[in-house]
Structure 1
């Protein structure tokens, strides 16, 4: 399956995994922490083991695998099983071969582990664990031998472990661990009468974990519950006591209930300090709906950009239909009209206004409605009640470029673009870098329209790229779908923009999309929970409250589902590279990168800074235009 360039891609994945491992190793070393994997033979050196018990073969969650057994093996990996050996070593080749096996058919051979205090240490299969952890797998088949330490009345951890042994013998569960004595019995008493809904399920306790605990744990992890020095099971037991053995009908409601549990625990531990979610609130009277307005500078039907935001508005209206009221204004293109709308929104007590065009920034900066929070598209010089937002569009552009580079036969990819501003330039460059990564002969030909939305210009530009430049794949950075329409008329592959265009036009490989619904949903949910209107905890990015520049990790930007003309191998490769970008193991603008005048712009193994991306005005060496 993996030959030639595809094997090269696997090698590049190893290099990314190793770079991540080296970064983790150096960070731990610089802060005085252990840098290598924990080794069980070191941990139990002075521990009296009274019994070895063969547990047999189980499906073991990878997060329970903490280290290796042998000290010598520990030196091959960082603290979280990332590889440390150089490329072109026997170790790296074995790791790459396992990665290939996982992609081709899945790693099936069980590993061998020792269990000690409900943590697991690998005797045989360290590289298999490393590969699967790198890919984000959930579990692995493992043959387990349990090492039981001597009872110690004065050791709380051992007392807890003996409680766990009794619980584990009854249930077979390893996912659960509590920090206080007595909780294993409490938990067992709650779940022992669980009824399965499928007669084919032979372990009712595993069914309970899958149905109830894992959905809860997902939100616990995303909300950084471990910062409270509790385990997911500690918080889950509290949830069961408060809300009963039921889950809310929606994932959003479950998340909110997890927040309630964590807030209660936090308040109990620091009763005089405010909640991590309770800072500067937007006040919404009890029983009233939160009012949210959207202002568009074009008609919805005339602009794919505006339509993508309208899809976001519809998304949140559906999701929060009982809690919010939304209103939109379209084709707002004069100061007078904008002022009139703002006066109206102020009188009607709207709390959040999403302004989706750069045109509105100057007016937002002058606003007098201090009870209104303005969230402004692509802004700068923000003030207290104005946040700005945009997305790292270059990330999905890079992935789209890879598809274009694979699909082109003429090695000419056409790109219709409005203006040479940084927002557009970084997208062009990332797209071209993606194409070049899989096809060194591919180049990107630009045709400028000097307007965001003019269907006639966009059509003529697309036809020019096809007829004069021999382009056989087209994409664009325009507000309409005209370029994709022209590609379909000429039976050429295309890559859409703003939203998934495959349902409207033929031969769309994918689309670079904005998921505004996810963005708006998180902000609105944050406000409804009485938060401080910050992007920090919501999106896991910078703690700079005023600006949000989220990438694929935040879910705000992405590529749409790849079409039927993209083969499974290519889809797998794209998803793997996407995962590396999301996990910040790879940056599309990693040197060496030269511009189209031959100047070295980014040094080898160096990544471009955000500041330079904000101001980028040069094109990579496979971009051409007249």
Structure 2
């Protein structure tokens, strides 16, 4: 049909000119040229499949490359054999449809046509969603790049759930999606689950594009993962499209952050401002006079703050310490700040009920005091955009919720040095109960601190729950005489030793422990609210997450010695502590060695804070491994 070809050719010319204006290749990409200089793996027949047309991006060879624009629309004049064949194929498609499949090669989650270029062009012109194709998969020869690792994860996903449409741009996303659906990347999914995901994704994608998602630097699957992270309790297929679109608008900034590079996602605020550091007189009148004229809040119009704890403060030492910080705010700010607490909110329904109550009470700020509550906190923050939400965690990039945590690695560095000064045989134990953000930096700082005093020191690392018979007994079997366990007891009644302690004949005696000063931490954050500097931390035109990450220099972290510790030992540790506070000592400055080699050579400045938070290696004197849920999907199984 002549008119159809003319319209298609017009689209082709528009696509070609647009590509040229953006310094992009104006014609179809050919796979042969693309892989000419790349190491390649095996070719595997995938069989007959319906593949998404939007993922068909080029040809296998150069043959007809210049006959099509980069958008697969035709470019040759109408009075050519090519144009007549294209028009004939158009007539066949609109009257009876194609019977024969095209032949394609799949490489890195994209398809390149070997036979059927004109059929693809016609179908794209008609906005068809899929095309039947005989698919051969070409694997890359190496798996050491982010792109190849992502493709390896896709291949693992495809083997259990053969959906080409699901494409992520962040490593680990396929495994996260599988867990959300109660599945894994090892066992083949039930067909009902595959069909459910396909229909759910197509519904979400339509809503996402309707909301303007094509302007974001993330895939629709990336966006769906963000959406499900907030609205995970709802069955998406049963949710009207208008509601999905409205929710997407509410979480728009979360979607923007998801498309940023890691280094552009988070603002790490590592020290309070000068105003926040100022100390008013300790009396109530002194506090009131100090803030007079500096804040809109007063004793009659206080800043109202709610604290939501995961467990009861009577049985959880972690929650109890945070609640002591809350009580400090009430006492310190002399009525300008008023707080309330909600305990035992680990259940989502209880958590959301606590938030609803806090909002009804007029609370302006809500702190959730466990990283495990971040998921609930994020959803609450989206539903109540006028309330400021903060969660006690680090490294979680959410614009709707600010995070706060401490540089505990500074205290662990000191404890490592202290441990090495008291160990009998160079073997020091380290038990980490939780593998969370910051855990590896704490282990490595401890190991580096130990190696400063004892170059032969070995850190015997264990993870998870305390083994049967007790941790002390297990460590004694490893020849350990000094070890560090949990930063605090799990509950107020738990007699198990924590912090740094000696092991003698299976018994423990304390040496030192890290200390959180949550009252000081909350004071510093609240000051930014009272002074009105909260909003100065972030730029509305630059969507980024804000993480507070204060350390010893801010007074939020320290160590406490057990009675009877030799003064020479205390003096040594105090010298190191002063260096950290003054900034002259950094555990991660200069030469650093991991178990697999040199991290950086001598003379280099300290690692950037983002690399410390996201650390993924262990120091060379650590005897142990990093917990892994699975090997890299798709790589070893090819």
TM-score by length of 2: 0.48
Higher relative contact order (CA 8 A, sep 6+): 2
Calculate the TM-score normalised by the size of structure 1: 0.49
